[in-house]
Amino acid sequence: MIKRTLCLFAFMLCLSQNTWAAGSFIVSEVQVKGLERISAGTVFNYLPIKVGDRVDEKRSAEAIRALFKTGFFQDVRLDQSREILVVHVIERPAIFSIEIKGNKDLSTEDLLGGLKGIGLAEGRAFNQQLFDKVQQELRRQYYSHGKYGLKIETTVTELPRNRVSILVDISEGEVAKIKQINVVGNETFSDEVLLEEFEQKTPNLLSFYTKDDQYSKQKLSADLERLRSYYLNRGYINFSVDSTQVSITPDKKEIYVTINVTEGQLYTLRKVKLTGDLIVSPEQLFPLVYVSPGDIFSRRDATDTSKLLTDRLGIEGYVFANVNMVPDIDKENKTVDITFYVDPGKQVYVRRINMLGNTRTRDEVLRREMRQMESSVASTALIDRSKLRLNRLGYFEEVNVETPAVPGTNDQIDVQYSVEEKPSGNLMAGVGFSQAQGIILNASVTQNNVLGTGKRVSFAVNNSEATQTFSLGYLNPYYTVDGISRGFNVSSRKTDNQELNTSDYSTDQLSFGVNFGIPLGEFNRLGFNLDLKQTALNTSEFSSVEVCEFVEPGSYVGGVCTSDGEEYLDLQAALSWTHDNRNRAVFANRGGMKSLSILATILGSDNEYYKLNYRQRQYFAWTKSLTFMLNGEIAYGSSYGDTDALPFYEHYYGGGTRSVRGYQDNTLGPRDSRGDPFGGSSKVVGNAELIFPVPFVEKVNSVRLSAFVDGGNVFEGGIDFGDLRYSAGLSAKWLSPFGALSFSIAQAFNDEEDDDTQQFQFSFGSGF
């Protein structure tokens, strides 16, 4: 094809040379013939000859080359008619459509993008030479994903009006699996240790899910970089990957990888120096240096040190600071001297803070979360902290920040926060089911950002076999400009405790409360609650001795409770401290929360008691997709004054989806005289969860899966850690459009004979 085109091109040049053999001429008019789709203006735009130009053999050859170079034409010829230049062209056919079928692993969009990169796309001129590269480009894309059994058939169909359609039929075949990976030349570390660093592995029990046994050239390159980092972080500064051989079996299903390495010698640090313009005192910088003389050289520690020093300078407003780590290698003594050169640049100021994307939320709601101020020294720590506070408001799907330099200056930046708002209100009515409460009818209206002010109003009605609840709440998170919050709540709650797997009694509660929150810093908060509660406690003839005797001493006669119940009016005061540095309020994956609270009834209440509670939850981001969570809670309650014991309706309960899974809700701990769960005055619960994404589904932020181990129990009086109950299993949580859904499959593995176990548990229509 190439030879034919060259011959045709040479023939055209010969024709043009013969045309003006007698001499040149001045062009008085240019005519274009043979156009079908392309406009004459396009030809005139690329043609280097204009009316009034003198044309000779050289100019005609240049014109033909220029028109061929456009790629629009498969034939170009120039003729002279008196003083008229006639351009004869034959257009290349246009690509009407490109159809790709048979592709599964790679999307059609990705494949078409690859073809477009080589110049083949709908609407463009069809070039046979480019088309011959189609298979090469498609094979390149599939080979990069380990598809070596690929088969491709291409068909070009001519259509009316000088158009063509292209069909690419693909048979992908199977991904080549890694049969063996060998590392040659390693002496200090074994193959098993080194291959643990690789993303690609030989087939194992989880390969069907992780796909880590499927060969990919890009992944192999990343694994080789991990191998280099492994050695460089352990002192082998001259480590090198000498060569890599990848071989495939004749059936193109198995891959053998051989990696030849040279480890080199182990290097230690001799000197560590900090030099340059130390605008921050060395006493503040040296604690950030992770490396010290005598240590084994580690590129990771040296890089981390550079980053920490840069971040520290950023706190002082040197946003564009640069800290370079320069190693001085002594090959003879196998030592390294490291010098950190500090170049702070200029101190940068914030000219303006801009808020973008907040169409509903008022600007002041965002600005009151700012820790970085306008017209002040820029601080990377304060800029990032402001972003974190915006994220934790719960009003936005996503928060991004940019710090562009102010044009014409070298010491000013603008800080731009862009937010993507999500619905902050929720109107819900539905039906749910809980194994503890049965069918749940619920309706709620919640607005976390009323009219964009950041204030919260909620109203909820819930009705189930066990509870009927009405509640109304209001919270102003900025009751004062200093961030002191104030809220009110009113609620009515009727509970049939026998339906909750506990003793036979029921309560009707009315409560009114006011609460205040006082910030004690960036992550700490002090809370104060004052609640007035009226509790009507109702018994039946089947109520237990413990219930009956508490309500009316001496009313349990002949195995029957003769009490008619009692009413109590208690004024509760609660003081709490909370430390919360989670990155998100819902489904966090970094940071944690600690809370300590004490609640007590004020003197003069019908019942005098107090309750202490401490809870801590911590998230650790192990990898980009795996999060480890630890949760612990310990609580204790008792009485004072004229009350003999903690009222039983204030008891702690354990077991179920929010406590120790695998045991029925509220069934752990002491039991009453009738053998029903009675709760206790103290409780301890611990949970450990490995949280992982939904398999085969990307970017699902409303679902969490986890493997867990739970432990805990409820006690009367002191806590006996030797009497804890344990379970393990799998859990899923889904924030569905119809409400929260939580379910778990758990196995209790040290349950006693009288424990009520339950392997499968779920709750729908209530929070978790």
Say which amino acid occupies 695: P
pLDDT band at 697 (very low <50, low <70, confident <90, very high): low
Determine the topology of domain 268-343 in CATH: Ubiquitin-like (UB roll) (3.10.20)
Query: How remote is the C-alpha of 513 from its chain's centroid?
Result: 37
Mean pLDDT, rounded, for 121-143: 76
pLDDT band at 19 (very low <50, low <70, confident <90, very high): very low
Q: Is residue 12's pLDDT more than 80?
A: no
> For residue 409, what are its two tokens?
């200056």
Contact predicate 251/315, CB 8 Å = no
* Domain 177-262, CATH: 3.10.20.310
Alpha-carbon distance 612 to 515, whole Å? 18
Integer-rounded Cα Rg, in Å, for the chain is 38
Q: Residues near 113 by Cβ (< 8 Å), separated by ≥ 6?
A: none
CATH 3.10.20.310 location in the chain? 2-91, 94-171, 177-262, 268-343, 349-421
Contact predicate 67/76, CB 8 Å = yes
Q: Look at residues 466, 427, 434 and name the one whose alpha carbon lies nearest to residue 764.
A: 434
* Rama region for 11: left / alpha / beta (φ>0; ψ in -120 to 50; rest): alpha
Buried/exposed 76-102: b ≥16 CB within 10 Å, e otherwise? bbbebeeeebebebebbbbbbebebee
| Chain mean pLDDT for the chain | 85
Match 């230690």 to its residue by tokens.
Answer: 268
Mean pLDDT, rounded, for 422-439: 50
pLDDT band at 698 (very low <50, low <70, confident <90, very high): low
pLDDT band at 320 (very low <50, low <70, confident <90, very high): confident
Residue, of 106 and 221, whose pLDDT is higher: 221
CATH 2.40.160.50 location in the chain? 425-764
User: Could you tell me where the DSSP H helices lie in 256-352?
Assistant: 282-285, 299-315
Alpha-carbon distance 309 to 343, whole Å? 11
Alpha-carbon distance 733 to 700, whole Å? 12
pLDDT band at 764 (very low <50, low <70, confident <90, very high): low
Q: What is the pLDDT of residues 599-619, one digit of tens each?
A: 999 988 999 999 999 999 999
Contact predicate 417/399, CB 8 Å = yes
First to last CA, the chain: 70
Looking at residue 234, what is its pLDDT? Answer: 93
Q: What is the pLDDT of residues 741-753, one digit of tens each?
A: 788 999 998 988 8
DSSP string, 678-742: --BSEEEEEEEEEEEPPTT--S--SEEEEEEEEEEEEESSS--GGG-EEEEEEEEEEEETTEEEE
* Domain 2-91, CATH: 3.10.20.310
State the pairing for strand pair 438-447/682-692: unpaired
Alpha-carbon distance 611 to 633, whole Å? 13
Q: Using alpha carbons, list the distances in angstroms from residue 634 to 152, 527, 631, 718, 727.
A: 65, 19, 11, 11, 18
Contact predicate 304/312, CB 8 Å = no
Q: What is the pLDDT of residues 570-585, one digit of tens each?
A: 999 999 999 998 887 7
Match 């000013």 to its residue by tokens.
Answer: 412
Q: Which segment of 140-144, 157-161, 421-425, 650-654 scores lowest on mean pLDDT?
A: 421-425
Looking at residue 433, what is its pLDDT? Answer: 45
Backbone angles phi, psi at 102, to 5 degrees: 90, -10
User: Could you tell me where the DSSP H helices lie in 423-565?
Assistant: 545-551
Q: Which segment of 9-13, 330-334, 689-693, 728-732 scores lowest on mean pLDDT?
A: 9-13
Give the dihedral of Cα atoms 102, 107, 113, 116; nearest 10 deg. 10
CATH number assigned to the domain with residue range 94-171, chosen from the 4 options 3.90.420.10, 1.25.40.10, 3.10.20.310, 2.60.120.620: 3.10.20.310
Looking at residue 341, what is its pLDDT? Answer: 93
pLDDT band at 184 (very low <50, low <70, confident <90, very high): very high
Looking at residue 13, what is its pLDDT? Answer: 43
Q: Using alpha carbons, list the distances in angstroms from residue 363 to 353, 394, 675.
A: 11, 16, 59
Contact predicate 552/541, CB 8 Å = no
Say which amino acid occupies 315: I
Cα-based angle 232, 236, 241 (whole degrees, multiple of 5): 75
* Domain 349-421, CATH: 3.10.20.310
Q: What is the pLDDT of residues 194-251, one digit of tens each?
A: 998 898 888 888 777 777 888 888 889 999 999 999 999 999 999 999 999 988 888 8
pLDDT band at 598 (very low <50, low <70, confident <90, very high): very high
Most confidently modeled of 160-169, 340-349, 416-425?
340-349
CATH number assigned to the domain with residue range 425-764, chosen from the 4 options 3.40.630.30, 3.30.310.50, 3.30.70.100, 2.40.160.50: 2.40.160.50
Hey, which bits of 263-395 come out as E strands?
Answer: 268-276, 322-330, 335-343, 349-356
Q: Facing residues of 529 across strands? A: 515, 574
Q: What is the pLDDT of residues 486-498, one digit of tens each?
A: 999 999 999 888 7
Alpha-carbon distance 151 to 145, whole Å? 14
